Amino acid sequence: MTQKNCYILGIESSCDDTAAAVINNGEILSNVVATQAIHEQYGGVVPELASRAHQQNIVPVVHQALRTANIDKNQLSAIAFTRGPGLMGSLLVGTSFSKSLAMGLGIPLIDVNHMQAHILAHFIKAEEQTAPNFPFLAMTISGGHTQIVKVTDYFEMEIIGQTIDDAVGEAFDKSAKILGLPYPGGPLVDKYAQQGNPKAFKFPKPKVNPLDFSFSGLKTSVLYFVEKEVAKNSDFIAENIEDICASLQFTIVDYLMDKLKNAVKKTGIKEIAIGGGVSANSGIRTALKEAETKYGWTTHIPKFEFCTDNAAMIAIVGELKFKDGSFAESDVVASARMKF
C-alpha cells in the first residue's frame, strides 16, 4: 500500500472527550471531538459519567469523522486507539469499540500511548505548526498531566520531570473555583489576567526537585489569601479579580519557565515543544516567544485543536506505527497507568 491511499482512523477516549479523526499521509482529514458538558455541574470529571457518555458518543463521533473525511469505513487501513494512561472506564469504551471495528473490517489495530500522542501531535502536517527537530524537550501541560520529556526519536522518550501532585490545569481550575469562576476556570483566569497587574499579589512557588512540579500548595495559598482578604472586605474578589488572576498566572507561568530552564541546563537541548490544554495560555505563549530571543531557544506550540485531548494526535501516532508495522495483538487490553 502506498502512503497516498493509507487512511487511519484514530480514536481517543481516555478522559472526558470522545474523539475520532482520520489521517492520510500526515494530513488530518477530520478531527471530531464531543466534549462532555455533564461534568461542569460537578466542577471536575466524574469517571462513571464519563464512561457512560463515551458509550453514547462514540458511534456518532466516528461516523462524523468518516463523513467529514469523505471516506467509507472500508477504505480504512488501520485503527489506532488510546490504550492508556487515563480513566479505566473511559479507556475501555474506546478500546472495545476499536477492537471490534478492526476485527469486523479485518484491518490492523494499533495501540497508542496518550502521553506520547500529545508529543507526536507536533508531527501532524498543518500550516500553523512546525515539527521540532530531534532531540527536543516536550512539556505537556493540561488538566491531567504536567511533565517534561526528553525526546530523542519518535518512540524514544524519557520523562525527566513531572508533577508530584496536581496537574497545572488543576492549579488553574481549582484556584478559579476558589474565586467563584465556573469549571474549567483556566481560560477565564487567562482572560482576566490579561487586564490585571501580575505583580499586585505574591503567591509562593512550591519547592521540589529542579525538574519536578508541585501545585497542591499553590491552591491552598490562594484559598488562605482569599479567605483572609474577604474577611476584611467582602467585595475583595469582585474588586480585584483581574489582579488576582494576573498574579496567579504570573506565578504559574514563571514556575513552568523555571522548570524548562532547568531542563535545558541539564540536557543542553534548546529545542522546546509544548502541548496540552494549558498551552493555550497567553502567558506561557508570550514567555516562550521571549525565550527564543532571550535564551536562543526554538519553540513549538501545536495548533490549539491538537493541544487539547483529540484523536488527530492518536491518528498521527497510528500512522507512524503503521509504517513500522507495529501493530497491537488482538488480546490487547486498556491500561490506566500505561508507561512510555
Binding residues (CB under 6 A) for ligand KG4: these are 15, 142-144, 169, 172-173, 184, 186-187, 190, 276-278, 280-281, 308-309
Question: 110, exposed or middle or buried, with CB in 10 Å at 0-12, 13-18, 19+?
Answer: buried
Q: Which residues pair with 20 in a beta bridge?
A: 11, 32
Are 237 and 226 in contact, with CB atoms under 8 Å apart? yes
Give the Cα-Cα-Cα angle 214, 218, 220 (nearest 5 degrees): 120
User: Residue 319 binds which entry of ligand KG4, Zn ion, none, with Cβ cut-offs from 5 to 8 Å by kind?
Assistant: none
The helix (run of H) or strand (run of E) holding residue 88 is helix 88-105
Q: Does the annotation list 118 as a binding residue?
A: yes
Handedness of CA 140, 147, 181, 188 (dihedral sign): negative
Q: Does the annotation list 281 as a binding residue?
A: yes
User: Residue 186 binds which entry of ligand KG4, Zn ion, none, with Cβ cut-offs from 5 to 8 Å by kind?
Assistant: ligand KG4
Question: Could you give the 3-state DSSP secondary structure of residue 90?
Answer: helix
- C-beta of 248: minimal distance to ligand KG4 in Å? 10
Q: Does the annotation list 86 as a binding residue?
A: no
- C-beta of 309: minimal distance to ligand KG4 in Å? 5
The pair phi, psi for residue 254, each rounded to 5°, is: -60, -40
Give the Cα-Cα-Cα angle 9, 14, 20 (nearest 5 degrees): 25
- C-beta of 118: minimal distance to ligand KG4 in Å? 8
Closest CA to 36 of 12, 23, 18, 62: 18
Q: Does the annotation list 144 as a binding residue?
A: yes
- C-beta of 187: minimal distance to ligand KG4 in Å? 4
Q: Does the annotation list 111 as a binding residue?
A: no
Q: Which lies closer to ligand KG4 via its Cβ, residue 212 or residue 309?
A: 309
Cell triple for 152: 530523542
Q: Does the annotation list 262 as a binding residue?
A: no
Q: Which lies closer to Zn ion via its Cβ, residue 309 or residue 319?
A: 309
- C-beta of 17: minimal distance to Zn ion in Å? 9
User: Residue 89 binds which entry of ligand KG4, Zn ion, none, with Cβ cut-offs from 5 to 8 Å by kind?
Assistant: none
The pair phi, psi for residue 136, each rounded to 5°, is: -140, 165
First-residue to last-residue Cα distance in the chain? 29
Q: Which residue is nearest to Zn ion (CB)?
A: 309
Given the rule CB under 5 A, which residues bind Zn ion?
309
Q: Does the annotation list 153 as a binding residue?
A: no
Cβ atoms within 10 Å, residue 233: 11
- C-beta of 14: minimal distance to ligand KG4 in Å? 8
Annotated binding-site members: 114, 118, 140-144, 173, 186, 190, 281, 309
Annotated binding-site members for substrate: 140-144, 173, 186, 190, 281
Annotated binding-site members for Fe cation: 114, 118, 309
